[in-house]
A and B are shown apart, each in its own frame.
Chain A
Amino acid sequence: MQHVLWLIPFLPVLGFAVLVVFGHRMGRRTIAVIGAAPAGAAAAVAIATAVSFLVAPPATHAYDQVMWTWFRIGAFAPRIAFHLDPLSLVMTLVVTFVGFLILLYSTRFMRGDEGYRRFFAYMDLFIASMLILVLAGDFLFLLVGWEGVGLSSFLLIGFWYRERANGAAARKAFIVTRVGDTALLVGLLLIFTKLGTLDIQGAMAAAQSQWAQGAAVATAAALLLMGGAIGKSAQLPLQTWLPDAMAGPTPVSALIHAATMVTAGVYLIARTHVLFELSPTARLVVAVIGAATLLYAGVSALAQNDIKRALAYSTISQIGYMFLALGVAAWSAAVFHFLTHAFFKALLFLSAGLVIKAMDEEHDIRKMGGLRRDIPVVFRLFLIGAAALSALPLVTAGFFSKDLIVDLALTSVHGGVWLWLAGVVGALLTSLYSFRLVFLVFFGERRGSAPVATRFPRLVVWPMVALAAGSVVLGWIELPVHWHGWSLFTDFMASALPVPGIRAGGLLDAIAVTLIPAIVSVAGVYLAWVLFGRRRPAVAGSLVTRPGFRWLAGAALAGWGFDRLYHVALVRPFLWLAHHGQRDWIDRLVSGIAGPAAALGGLLRRTQDGRLRYYLAAAALGIVVFVAVGLLR
């Protein structure tokens, strides 16, 4: 199967190219087939590859396929090459499989849109880029996918291009992530300059052998790569673009801004984990950023009234968990959470899309309520998603993955109590905001208009059922550490991602570590019921009237002022510079030389005033002077 790796990203590229070049002559049905089929075919190839990988593991624990040498300058010879190890394999499977399901959903969901062809073309471009990103064997080739997903994200956020606000959101997403990308690029410059290669495996091996533990250069390289990762994954302080990115169509939010693209940063750090193993500083920074982000975004999600923005903050928060895991060297735990998160968050977004459609493009949860009777199917699916997000014990996949992270945050040799505490508080916040959504949207009384659509086609519902199934059962492949059961996922990842060292702890520790997050998440659901679910939300009502709380809620709603800070500190000075520089002061300064030259010319011109007799007098005087000088020398 080694030789068909190229097919996986190529099929969506083909779909994209066909839609772009010939799409204007196609009907909707053809467009739907050409748009969705490549992802399905890629998923099939990926599954076949996975089977062959599992049945007969290659000796190197990876498939490598070199397409061609990109270029060769002296010793610098980056290659267009694919590298598939367990990490890439999981990413590839998720991207193709979830991507295919979402595309199936979109074939009906987007039916009425005039940009039908454009939508599928962009989606194919995205899937292709994402696959290149996760399969690339060379950093430079990885950048192709990395920026490709940024581009398609930009195109899809601004999909409804007539609205200026959508354009602004798209622009913001691209520019903010590009800030991180620049850090990534500088990091790659550093890696190449020091190690002499941009081949990912080669560079990692070289770093391992050449750089000492804790070397400053390793920290610098790791932090620069992390800059790229936090931009793409919307972590503090570059998180501001993701809530706005919800301006795009809902399937886009599900695929790009929840399941796959935003986890590219997690992938990058896991991929370059060697650098982070070498640098405790960088690891600590990652862990702190993750912990801070998950709390920050959890609180912000609690205050949102737009259902999609709430889910966006939830995504930021969940990726914060993944970063926390990366920070404590629990690499495979991060990837495991990525896997389950892709399923349940995509499910939540797709359900939210149906809710919004049912409410006739209404995003505000304050105007919903009682919908569980109107759209029971959507309610059940959303509930499954919310339960998985809240990590309700045993019945959801989210429990197993999040528990693993919270557990390792404490028990990993790189972990600590504070990180663990952040994870636990985050778990409380998570179930609180998840079930706030559930209770406000589906329970209580109807607060807005009646739903306009209550039945949805099978092609929309079945992909969601598949995602829901994944959200429930996927967790069982990896049991909590202290159960001493099986850990299929970590074992499978072991050849690509090392297992973190575990601090020895007593039985009490183990119970505390496993039980507390579970109790907390259930408690969060109960709290949400008390606050938002009961007929008379008395507690919430008394809270809301307090000025301090209102200020707090307003701040959380606005994402704690990051947008305003960036606007004042960066955007406004830039616009000021652009506005005042419009007439190009440097040019004016240089062209200013023309002024004195013209003045001098004006002076000289005065001598040529047309009075012949003065000309002649001057000429005579000149002759006299010359002759005099000649004679007197």
Chain B
Amino acid sequence: MSAVDPVYALGLAGVLFVLGLLGVLVRRNIIFVLASIEIMVNAAGLAFLAAGARWGQADGQVMFVFILAMAAAEVAVGLALALRIRRRFNTLDVDDLRKLKD
């Protein structure tokens, strides 16, 4: 099994990250925002994996496990919040939620 050139892996991670970021910026539905954040987190995880593979260190995989756990927790909290917000404000549009600021 030949190693993948880390440049490609990092490039993929970068593309995924930017896609996720654009998703966060342009989507107004809170579910899609959460999904986009998930993509960004996984992009970061991919970058860790690629770097770990490149240096032959286990640290990258350790970090990926951390990220998975964190992402799972985040999704759980995020979806629960989204549910409460839907119930309470009857919307999932983040721009409509500006009133939370006050």
Chain A residues within 8 Å of B98, by CB: 609-611
Residue in A608, A610, A613, A616 whose beta carbon sits within 8 Å of that of B100 in the complex:
A610
Chain B residues within 8 Å of A609, by CB: 98, 101
Residue contact B25 to A617, C-beta cutoff 8 Å: yes
Per-residue interface assignment for chain B, residues 63 to 102, with 1 indicating a CB less than 8 Å from any chain A CB and 0 otherwise: 0000000000000000000000000000000110111111
Residue contact A608 to B101, C-beta cutoff 8 Å: yes
Residue A620 CB within 8 A of the other chain: yes
Residue contact A613 to B21, C-beta cutoff 8 Å: no
In A577-633, the 8 Å CB interface with B consists of: 608-613, 616-617, 620
Residue in A611, A616, A617, A620 whose beta carbon sits within 8 Å of that of B95 in the complex:
A611
Chain B residues within 8 Å of A617, by CB: 25
Residue in B95, B99, B102 whose beta carbon sits within 8 Å of that of A613 in the complex:
B95
Output the nearest chain A residue to B21 by Cβ-Cβ distance.
Answer: A620
Residue contact A610 to B21, C-beta cutoff 8 Å: no
Residue contact B101 to A613, C-beta cutoff 8 Å: no
Residue contact B25 to A616, C-beta cutoff 8 Å: yes
Measured in the bound complex, the distance between the Cα atoms of B25 and A59 in whole Å is 108
Chain B residues within 8 Å of A612, by CB: 94, 97
Per-residue interface assignment for chain A, residues 344 to 375, with 1 indicating a CB less than 8 Å from any chain B CB and 0 otherwise: 00000000000000000000000000000000
Minimum Cβ distance to chain A for residue B33 (Å): 8
Chain B residues within 8 Å of A610, by CB: 97-102
Residue B46 CB within 8 A of the other chain: no
Minimum Cβ distance to chain A for residue B25 (Å): 5
Output the nearest chain A residue to B101 by Cβ-Cβ distance.
Answer: A610
Minimum Cβ distance to chain B for residue A611 (Å): 6
Measured in the bound complex, the distance between the Cα atoms of B27 and A616 in whole Å is 12
Minimum Cβ distance to chain A for residue B55 (Å): 22
Measured in the bound complex, the distance between the Cα atoms of B95 and A609 in whole Å is 10
Residue contact B24 to A616, C-beta cutoff 8 Å: yes
Task: Please report the number of residue pairs spanning A and B whose Cβ atoms sit closer than 8 angstroms.
Answer: 26
Chain A residues within 8 Å of B97, by CB: 610, 612
Minimum Cβ distance to chain A for residue B7 (Å): 17
Output the nearest chain B residue to A612 by Cβ-Cβ distance.
Answer: B94
Per-residue interface assignment for chain A, residues 160 to 179, with 1 indicating a CB less than 8 Å from any chain B CB and 0 otherwise: 00000000000000000000
Chain A residues within 8 Å of B25, by CB: 613, 616-617, 620
Interface size on B (CB < 8 Å)?
13
Q: Which of A609, A613, A616 counts the most chain B CB atoms within 10 A?
A: A613
In A262-279, the 8 Å CB interface with B consists of: none
In B1-48, the 8 Å CB interface with A consists of: 21, 24-26, 28
Chain A residues within 8 Å of B102, by CB: 610
Measured in the bound complex, the distance between the Cα atoms of B102 and A524 in whole Å is 94
In A535-580, the 8 Å CB interface with B consists of: none
Chain B residues within 8 Å of A620, by CB: 21, 25
Measured in the bound complex, the distance between the Cα atoms of B95 and A616 in whole Å is 13
Output the nearest chain B residue to A623 by Cβ-Cβ distance.
Answer: B21
Chain A residues within 8 Å of B100, by CB: 610
Measured in the bound complex, the distance between the Cα atoms of B25 and A610 in whole Å is 14
In A88-111, the 8 Å CB interface with B consists of: none
Measured in the bound complex, the distance between the Cα atoms of B26 and A611 in whole Å is 12
In A193-216, the 8 Å CB interface with B consists of: none
Measured in the bound complex, the distance between the Cα atoms of B3 and A68 in whole Å is 106
Measured in the bound complex, the distance between the Cα atoms of B96 and A610 in whole Å is 10
Measured in the bound complex, the distance between the Cα atoms of B33 and A611 in whole Å is 13
Measured in the bound complex, the distance between the Cα atoms of B25 and A611 in whole Å is 11
Chain A residues within 8 Å of B95, by CB: 611, 613
Minimum Cβ distance to chain A for residue B85 (Å): 13
Chain A residues within 8 Å of B99, by CB: 610
Chain B residues within 8 Å of A611, by CB: 94-95, 98
Measured in the bound complex, the distance between the Cα atoms of B37 and A616 in whole Å is 12
Measured in the bound complex, the distance between the Cα atoms of B101 and A608 in whole Å is 9
Chain A residues within 8 Å of B101, by CB: 608-610
Chain B residues within 8 Å of A616, by CB: 21, 24-25
Measured in the bound complex, the distance between the Cα atoms of B82 and A179 in whole Å is 81
In A108-149, the 8 Å CB interface with B consists of: none
Output the nearest chain A residue to B99 by Cβ-Cβ distance.
Answer: A610
Minimum Cβ distance to chain B for residue A627 (Å): 12
Minimum Cβ distance to chain A for residue B95 (Å): 6
Chain B residues within 8 Å of A608, by CB: 101
Per-residue interface assignment for chain A, residues 418 to 456, with 1 indicating a CB less than 8 Å from any chain B CB and 0 otherwise: 000000000000000000000000000000000000000
Chain A residues within 8 Å of B28, by CB: 613
Output the nearest chain B residue to A617 by Cβ-Cβ distance.
Answer: B25
Minimum Cβ distance to chain B for residue A549 (Å): 84
Measured in the bound complex, the distance between the Cα atoms of B17 and A620 in whole Å is 11
Measured in the bound complex, the distance between the Cα atoms of B100 and A609 in whole Å is 10
Q: Which of A610, A611, A617 counts the most chain B CB atoms within 10 A?
A: A610
Output the nearest chain A residue to B102 by Cβ-Cβ distance.
Answer: A610
Measured in the bound complex, the distance between the Cα atoms of B101 and A609 in whole Å is 7
Chain A residues within 8 Å of B94, by CB: 611-613
Measured in the bound complex, the distance between the Cα atoms of B97 and A317 in whole Å is 90
Minimum Cβ distance to chain A for residue B93 (Å): 11
Minimum Cβ distance to chain A for residue B1 (Å): 34
Minimum Cβ distance to chain A for residue B4 (Å): 25
Q: Which of B21, B26, B99 counts the most chain A CB atoms within 10 A?
A: B21
Output the nearest chain B residue to A613 by Cβ-Cβ distance.
Answer: B25
Minimum Cβ distance to chain A for residue B18 (Å): 9
Minimum Cβ distance to chain B for residue A631 (Å): 15
Chain A residues within 8 Å of B24, by CB: 613, 616
Measured in the bound complex, the distance between the Cα atoms of B94 and A613 in whole Å is 8
Measured in the bound complex, the distance between the Cα atoms of B28 and A611 in whole Å is 10
Output the nearest chain A residue to B28 by Cβ-Cβ distance.
Answer: A613
Measured in the bound complex, the distance between the Cα atoms of B34 and A169 in whole Å is 85
Measured in the bound complex, the distance between the Cα atoms of B100 and A608 in whole Å is 12
Query: 11 other contacts beyond A611-B98, A613-B94, with CB at 8 A cut-off?
Result: A609-B98, A610-B97, A610-B102, A611-B94, A611-B95, A612-B94, A613-B24, A613-B26, A616-B25, A617-B25, A620-B25
What are some 6 contacts across the A-B interface (CB < 8 A)? A610-B97, A610-B100, A610-B101, A612-B97, A613-B24, A620-B25
Give the 9 A-B CB pairs with smallest separation, nearest first: A610-B101, A610-B98, A617-B25, A613-B25, A612-B94, A616-B24, A611-B98, A620-B21, A611-B95
Q: B: which residues have CB within 8 A of A? A: 21, 24-26, 28, 94-95, 97-102
